[in-house]
Structure 1
Amino acid sequence: MKTLTRRGILTGAGGLGLMMMAGPLFGQHVYKEIHDLKPGEFTWHPERQPFGPVAVIVSLNEQRVHVYRNGVRIAVSTCSSGKPGHETPTGVFVVLQKDRDHRSSTYNNAPMPNTNRLTWDGIALHAGNLPGYPASHGCVRLPLKFSALLFEVTHLGTPVIIADEHHFPMDVAHPGLILSGYAENEFEDVLATLNPRKHPSDWEFGDEHPITSMIASSHDKKIALIENDREIAEGPLIWDGEPLGSHVYVLKGPHDGAKGMHWEALTYSGANAGTHDLRRVQTDEAFAETIKRYVHPGMIYVFTDLPLHPDSRSGRDFVIMS
């Protein structure tokens, strides 16, 4: 009997409908330079990095979706984002829900195959028509075949960066646990705490593990700790006083060499990128102890200079709207 994971939820009824989509809608795997891809074309090379956490970067200017696994780009696809008046929001998102056979509750029950939901008010990655320019009502449309492949490698909590520009991820290490330092001889204690906690991509269907995210806002001088889509704690932000920039850090796990944490760093909103240096940011001892109880591989840590305010977040969603 096959064990269901969260990636395999909701297969079945929509298969017949998917088979009816052909031609450019279906998509074509090609071997081309990224800038030469035609609407509906994509590249897919998971063998370049078979294991590790996935991150997705949507470049609105390029109308391209870049997929990274463990920091290595494994795929690029053409896409179609929101048309004028229905622009796709930019910022940091995570996959909140997955549904192979989703239908729109807003637009005449329209099919949205292989949906990776990013906001509860309707923004998602899903299969759809790709005319070669922004044409959706805000979602990011993908070739059907590519959307099915992407659906298999994403999981609840997968970070999705939607930005005007594409930035390559970088590896960074922090010589401590998140926002606090510790003596080198305490590293084994940190490992003992972290190791039992699975990455979301390893959860079995039915596992109940909340996804942890943190947002550090220089505007509010605060750090918010979020479980799934609910803020559970906040603490003071202590930093050098300079702009933090717009960065997303995904925790890969412990870094033996640095005796600390190993992160994948992604930049969004290139106009105010700043530099990748987690050591700039700290908090007080009490909040650092709170954070330790929620750390897990795959957790997301966001730097922003925007306020932690409803205008910069989408309802209950974990979104930093830039």
Structure 2
Amino acid sequence: MRRRDFTIMIGAGGLSLLAGPLAGQHVYKEVNALQPGEFTWHPERQPDGPVSVVVSLDEQRVHVYRNGVRIAVSTCSSGKPGHETPTGVFVVLQKDRDHRSSTYNNAPMPNMNRLTWGGIALHAGNLPGYPASHGCIRLPLKFSALLFEVTHLGTPVIIAASGSAPDSVVHPGFILGSYETEEFERVLDTLSPRQHPSDWAMDGAYPITSIIASSHDERIVILENDRQVADGPLIWDGKPLGPHVYVLHGPDDGQRGMQWQALTYDGTAEQAGHDLTRVGTDKAFGEVIAAHSHPGMIFVFTDLPLHPDRRTGRDFVVMS
């Protein structure tokens, strides 16, 4: 390449470095046959509902689910040795189409979905076919642009050691309460005005809720957007909770209960038993949880402590 041509590419904002094969290509292939830069995108399979993203580090794949249905899969490149991408549960904290790195020489990070204020994000970048980043999840440029359109502040992103398809779980009652007809109707009334639009912003009419239950601390905490607003006692069966995350969809069509999408973000298949009935709390805190609930909220199980040093600034992170 001539020096002048290279200068023109850089002067155009650096995005030309992602042109050609690295821009990404939508293909019709089995997931395990995707080559670096290739992806599938089929939003028509599930047009509506809350989105969740699962990053499988061993597969070097990003899976996108909407309302429990997988609508997209892409190749990716995660953190290289010495800069490994952490596993755990994150939510999108910031979105920026034209972001540039403040750490790595102003490097372009197009279509950035920030997961931690410490530098972990989903964004477009080079995909050599193996882990090569400084911790971020690099995506094909075209795929990153499509993903940017369906995520919002608060979208859960589960970074797992291995892939885990979501299960559909219907709780016989609601959240952490015993099932009663009047309770079900009351909660439906509170959920109706809080349907979760895809472009819900931090300063929207209703904040995005995340709930974390820790067996280590025997506590449940509630976060709005990325700040803790309440905590209460955890009552459970005494066994390890396992590393699971549940995304609330809303009322189930066939049963008088609430439907959740359940994912295991670390661990073996044997640990992936999804059962919300294992956990509970006292009546007073159960009412607090119900008051903060909305479609699209997430509920995380962990056996790790809830120490503040797992979150810095405004991070919401449950890292294994």
| Alignment counterpart, residue 209 of structure 2, candidates 207, 212, 227 | 212
Change in Cα spacing, 1:205 to 1:318, as seen in structure 2 (3 Å) is: closer
2:284 maps to amino acid: A
* Distance change in 2, residues 1:114/1:288 (3 Å): same
CA deviations 1:177-203 (Å, max 9, x no partner) are 211124224422221111111214253
The structure 1 residue matched to 2:144, chosen from 127, 137, 147, is 147
- Is 1:291 the counterpart of 2:292? The answer is no
Aligned residue pairs: how many? 309
CA contact (8 A) 1:174 1:258 kept: no
Q: Are residues 1:73 and 2:70 paired?
A: yes
Question: What does the per-residue CA deviation read over 1:267-318, in whole Å, with 9 as the maximum and x for residues that have no partner?
Answer: 1112372411101100001111111221111111000111112454455311
Deviations 1:82-129 (A, max 9, x none): 111111111001111111000001111110000000001110000000
Q: Which moved more, 1:53-62 or 1:207-216?
A: 207-216
Question: Are the aligned partners of 1:112 and 1:126 in contact in 2 as well (CA < 8 Å)?
Answer: yes
- Name 1:317's counterpart in structure 2: 315
Structural RMSD (CA): 1.9
Match of 1:241 in 2: 238
Matches within 5 A, 1:112-131: 112-131=109-128
> Equivalents in 1 of 2:181, 2:253: separation in Å?
10
**Residue 247 of structure 1 contacts residue 273 of structure 1 at CA under 8 Å; is this kept in 2?**
no
Please give the alpha-carbon distance, in whole angstroms, between the structure 1 residues aligned to 2:32 and 2:106: 34
Question: Unaligned stretches of 5+ in structure 2?
Answer: 1-10
1:280 aligns with 2:278: yes
CA 251–15 in structure 1, closer or farther in 2 if over 3 Å, else same: farther
Tell me by how many angstroms 1:16 deviates: 6.8
Match for 1:258 among 255, 258, 273? Answer: 255
Q: Which amino acid aligns with 1:252?
A: H
Question: What corresponds to 1:4 in structure 2?
Answer: none
Instruction: Kindly provide the amino acid, as one letter, of the partner of residue 36 in structure 2.
Output: P
Partner of 2:159: 162
**What is the TM-score when the length of structure 1 is the normalising length?**
0.91
Partners of 2:26 and 2:157 in 1: CA distance: 22
Q: 1:176 aligns with which of 173, 176, 182?
A: 173
- Quote the Cα distance in structure 2 between the aligned partners of 1:206 and 1:242: 38
Q: Aligned partners of 2:101, 2:287: CA distance in 1, in Å?
A: 43
2:48 to 30, 47, 51: 51
**15 and 190 in structure 1: CA distance in 2 versus 1, 3 angstrom threshold:** farther
Match 1:89 to one of 83, 86, 96: 86
| Partner in structure 1 of residue 229 of structure 2 | 232
Pick the aligned partner of 1:192 from 178, 189, 192.
189
Mapped partners of 2:292, 2:163: distance in 1: 30
* Compared CA separation, residues 99 and 208, structure 1 to 2 (3 A): farther
Cα distance 1:168–1:314, how it changes in 2: closer, same or farther (>3 A)? Answer: farther
Deviations 1:39-86, CA, capped at 9 Å, x for gaps? 111111111111111111101111111111111111111100011111
What corresponds to 2:305 in structure 1?
Answer: 307
Give the conservation status (yes or no) of the 8 Å contact 1:244–1:274: no
Question: Could you tell me whether the CA contact under 8 Å between 1:314 and 1:321 is conserved in 2?
Answer: no
1:9 alignment partner in structure 2 = none
Q: Write out per-residue CA displacement over residues 5-32 of structure 1, whole angstroms, 9 at most, x where no aligned residue.
A: xxxxxxxxx9975466311220111111
Contact 1:81–1:87 (CA<8 Å) still a contact in 2?
yes
Q: Is this contact kept in 1: 2:153–2:200, CA < 8 A?
A: no
Change in Cα spacing, 1:219 to 1:186, as seen in structure 2 (3 Å) is closer
Distance 1:318 1:72 in 2: 25
Give ranges in structure 1 of 5+ residues lacking alignment: 1-13
Paired amino acid for 1:199? H
1:65 aligns to what SS in structure 2? strand
Distance 2:161 2:201 in 1: 35
SS at match of 1:195: helix
Partners of 2:227 and 2:77 lie apart in 1 by 31
Question: For residue 5 of structure 2, what is the aligned residue in structure 1?
Answer: none
More moved, 310-319 vs 136-145: 310-319
Q: In the aligned structure 2, how far is the partner of 1:180 from the partner of 1:205?
A: 28
CA contact (8 A) 1:113 1:144 kept: yes
